[in-house]
Amino acid sequence: MSHEGTTDEQAIREAKIRQRLDRISRKIMIMSGKGGVGKTTVTVNLANALVDAGKTVGILDTDLHGPNVAKMLGCESGALESADGQNFVPVKVRDGLYVVSLSFALNSNSDPVVWRGPMKIAVIKQFLGDVEWGELDYLLIDTPPGTGDEQLTVIQAIPEMTGTIIVTTPQEVALLDARKSVNFARKLGVAVLGVIENMSGLICPDCGKEIPIFGTGGGKKICDEMDTPFLGSIPLEMHLREYEDIGESTLLKSPDSKSTKALQAIATFLDTSIAVSSENTDFINTSSCAPTACSNCSSNCDSRKDI
């Protein structure tokens, strides 16, 4: 892992990124304005739901200071293999699901990553350009909380970004930061595919009653305020935490639970009516652009002027 080099080296890197990502139909960045709202939980479970539906999915973990994707998917012992030391193969979790995370390059899962912005930018671009993702239906990009170097790097490196999903809880402090994430995406011309309200209520394991420990309806409220699609609510259930801790799929282990049904519904919606956003209109009407893109898209690209 190294810093970016000369202008020529950067041009080569950009070309490699384009070569890799042109084989991936849809690239979705998953964000949260605030930490602790379950963004990575949403990412890994949406990935499993899409794979269960027959899609091929890659997950890029750009939360470099707290890479937890591998832990939640049970592939912590994986390694990024390379035949030539320059091109790497992502870790296969199951048929159709592949992961790249900095955690695979750390000596210990308790090792801290003490990096400034330039190093983080270089590593994210290396993940995008040097990993042989192959042909995928989706690349889900898990990002750290906030609107900083990691999110900016991803957006700048992927001008054909399909869009972003904002994860929040109903709690007012989380909603405040979720609004910032929506505005951040719009400022950079990236479509907001929608908001997911996670931890919408605790399902009591004894009586099945839903307890609104973080409040109710907050995610839908900010969607109404900001004219943003609401993708759905995911309740908090004990098995979600239990299966994540041992790296098992909650969708497989608890197929009839309320959280599983909610995740499956969101995955189905995304796969059947997805938006596209790009500052580069060359991608309009390509495989990166869904048939319903313009009607759902919140971007400011030229193709929307007459809509």
pTM (predicted TM-score): 0.86
Question: Which class would CATH give 7-194+269-291?
Answer: alpha beta
Nearest C-alpha neighbor of 57 from the set 181, 142, 150: 142
pLDDT of residue 295 exceeding 50, the answer is no
CA distance 133 to 100: 9
* Domain ranges for the chain: 7-194+269-291
The residue type of 234 is I
* Separation in Å, CA 255 to CA 57, 215, 218, 239, 264: 20, 26, 27, 11, 10
User: Model confidence over 58-112: pLDDT tens digits?
Assistant: 999 999 999 999 999 999 999 988 878 789 999 999 999 999 999 998 887 788 8
CA distance 280 to 300: 11
Q: How many residues does the chain have?
A: 307
DSSP secondary structure code for residue 90 in this structure: P
The CA radius of gyration of the chain, in Å to the nearest whole number, is 19
User: Model confidence over 269-281: pLDDT tens digits?
Assistant: 888 865 433 333 3
User: Model confidence over 47-66: pLDDT tens digits?
Assistant: 999 999 999 999 999 999 99
Q: Please, which pLDDT band fits residue 5 given cuts at 50, 70 and 90?
A: low
Q: 190 with 163: CB under 8 angstroms?
A: yes
Number of Cβ atoms within 10 Å of the Cβ of 248: 16
